[in-house]
Structure 1
Amino acid sequence: MTLSAAPRISCEVIETRADVARIFNIQRYSLNDGRGIRTVVFFKGCPHTCPWCANPESISPKIETVRRESKCLHCAPCLRDAEECPSGAFEHIGRDVTLEELEREVMKDEVFFRSSGGGVTLSGGEVLMQAPFATALLQRLRRWGIHTAIETAGDAPLSRLLPLAKQCDEVLFDLKIMDAEQAKTVVKMNLPRVLDNFLRLAEEGINVIPRVPLIPGFTLSEANMNRVLAFLIPSGIRQLHLLPFHQYGEPKYRLLGHEWTMNQVAVPTEEEIATLRQMAERAGFLVTLGG
């Protein structure tokens, strides 16, 4: 099979609706995407080209069909149809849901939200690519008194980000490569816009929590951490989540037929993580590993 890079789409041009969204997973009982026990909704589509992305199935906004060899009965002839496949070897990644459907689905977990102080987190992909729907969904959940959060890289017009962020109790905001030219080249990110958006959310009094993925060769360096801290200190924010690189996404790349270019990259050592953590703590930050 020929390996290819995953397709990308601009965050500026995707068509968005307020009544239908495309998602690819709902993860229940999560403890790492906001406070308490959470249900995480993963939206499909991402404009960035992060080589370390652990969710390659989130990148394309299209519904994709994959075949799992372990389930395949090697039928002859093969219909290559997820609806007709007798073993479930062929399956779709991605589905369209309405506001009402998704609201009912996540509210099945209300008892866990109430008992743990948890709630619903919208992730991706990049949730800003479907901001009208996400904003409308969080408005509905807040009427139920549900704690709400999003995970985002913040790289979109403020007119798209701010209304959504105002419906959140927490905005988990990724700060990645802090060199503007490298961010543009490596991950196709408009870093000046990202940083301006972060500061605007903070000025609005929104509970924005910065997160830094620790990626060898990209962000796992004292230089990048110094840039993160220099940016955050004037904002007055003193929380910081560190997200160490891992290899858990590799099987997904094989399943999709995409190349995993990070296969030879070692996960950060405890010493490397401790060095960056201590830098942040010495600067006055409350550091959470993971989150």
Structure 2
Amino acid sequence: MTLSVAPHTSSDLRIPMVNGACETAEKSPTGRIFNIQRFSLNDGQGIRTMVFFKGCPHRCPWCANPESMSPRIQTIKRQAKCLNCRTCLQDPQECPSGALEYVGEDITLPALMSRLLKDEVFFRSSGGGITLSGGEVLMQPVFARELLKELQGLGIHTAIETAGDVPRDHLLSVVEHCDQVLFDFKIMEATLARTLLNMNQPRVLENFQALTQRDVELLPRVPLIPGYTLTQENLRQILDFLKPFNLNEIHLLPFHKYGEAKYPLLGKTYSMHKTLVPDAVALAPLRAMAESDGYTVTMGG
């Protein structure tokens, strides 16, 4: 199937990020998301609904959500479904076959709350809640904070997934309304992190240290990616960094290729195509290393 990115002529492409949120022509603040995933069991306690925010400062080659990287609303085209009728004129709303679709939407807080609360019975019965992910949710701190504040006010458990590479005040303002932070550690060596991922690793570590002074549950996670983070040396550096904070649990996230099919859809090349998914033999030493440091280890989140 041949897939391509179609040009997007909507003014949404020119909406700037204002104070961590999007701003429409009417100046009303909104959040920009690209997916709401229900009945998740791997991103916090209980049954959860995930809200995926658009935009990410990093360029991880293994990213399973490449549609999250750009902060802009994109239009994608599924060439195999195209009727070549030219009826749509590159507007997904006019496409009769569904070959064109938008990736991303601007949504107000009341509208998003209305969607999320449809799952409230599952949160209440399972001890679950809402997890904000991305992309990097902290690129939209104002909207994220207000959303989490509303949810906490209703007694709903709140969590975010983050790599922590944002200004300190963005992080702390959002965490004020979080019950749990799922914090990803990737490449520890600062130069490699900057070169390969566009990540400011010293800021990441400083921000994590700041979180340890806050009343929030911290859960470190480590993606295990061949050629990048799947080394005993890298995990040893992470564990040594975490040691003073006396945390009990860590999640190790083995590499997978679930997002591979999205890359050609977005006009991108998936550079991990030939990378083998690590087997149990390759993962066992890293799990044993974390367990020997006293952690309860969950593989896969």
TM-score band, normalised by shorter chain: over 0.9
Question: Could you list the runs of 5+ residues in structure 2 that have no partner in the other structure?
Answer: 6-15, 23-28
Deviation for aligned residue 1:73: 2.2
Whether 1:35 aligns to 2:45 is yes
Does the CA contact (< 8 Å) of 2:92 and 2:102 recur in 1? Answer: yes
Of 138, 162, 172, which aligns to 1:128?
Answer: 138
Aligned partner letter, 2:233: A
Output the CA distance in 1 between the equivalents of 2:86 and 2:161: 44
- Partner amino acid for 1:277? R
* RMSD (CA atoms): 1.7
* Residue in structure 2 matching 1:204, options 214, 236, 245: 214
Q: CA deviation at 1:49?
A: 1.1
Which residue of 1 is the match for residue 102 of structure 2? 92
1:245 and 2:255 correspond: yes
Whether the aligned pair in 1 keeps the contact of 2:3 and 2:80 (CA below 8 Å) is no
Task: State how 1:1-291 maps to structure 2 within 5 Å.
Answer: 14-15=17-18, 16-17=20-21, 19-76=29-86, 79-291=89-301
> In 2 relative to 1, CA 2–38 (structure 1 residues): closer, same or farther, beyond 3 Å?
closer
TM-score with structure 2 setting the length: 0.90
Structure 2 counterpart SS, 1:33: coil
Q: TM-score when scaled to structure 1?
A: 0.93
Q: Deviations over 1:104-127 (max 9, x none)?
A: 110110000011110000000000
- In structure 1, distance between residues paired with 2:202 and 2:158: 27
Name the CA distance, whole Å, in 1 between partners of 2:91 and 2:169.
41
Query: 2:154, 2:17 → 1: CA distance?
Result: 30
Q: What CA distance in whole angstroms lies between the structure 2 residues aligned with 1:224 and 1:272?
A: 14
> What does the per-residue CA deviation read over 1:9-36, in whole Å, with 9 as the maximum and x for residues that have no partner?
xxxx953238301100000011111111
| Percent of pairs with identical residues | 57
- Between 1:65-74 and 1:187-196, the stretch displaced more is 65-74
| Cα deviation, residue 235, structure 1 | 1.2
Contact 2:21-2:32 within 8 A present in 1 as well: no
Deviations 1:226-274 (A, max 9, x none): 0011001111112100111111111100111101001010011111111
Distance, in Å, in 1 between the alignment partners of 2:88 and 2:119 is 39
Shift in CA distance, 97/76, structure 1 to aligned 2, threshold 3 Å: closer
Q: Distance in 1 between matches of 2:168 and 2:300?
A: 27
CA distance in structure 1 between the partners assigned to 2:88 and 2:39 by the alignment: 37
Q: 2:74, 2:103 within 8 Å by CA — same for their partners in 1?
A: yes
Contact 1:3 1:258 in 2 (8 A): no
- Structure 1 residue 88: Cα displacement: 0.9
8 Å contact from structure 1 (residues 28, 39) kept in 2: yes
How far is the alpha carbon of 1:76 from its aligned partner? 4.6
Q: 1:2 to 1:75 in 2, by over 3 A?
A: closer
- Specify the code of the residue in structure 2 equivalent to 1:173: F
Q: CA deviation at 1:70?
A: 3.6
Q: C-alpha offsets along residues 85-107 of structure 1, whole Å, 9 cap, x if unaligned?
A: 00111000000000111111101
SS in 2 for 1:267: coil
Distance in 2, Cα, partners of 1:94 & 1:160: 22
Q: Which runs of 5 or more residues in structure 1 are unaligned? A: 5-12
- One-letter amino acid matched to 2:221: R
Q: How many positions carry a matched residue from both structures?
A: 283
- Residue aligned with 1:49, SS: coil
1:114 partner amino acid: R
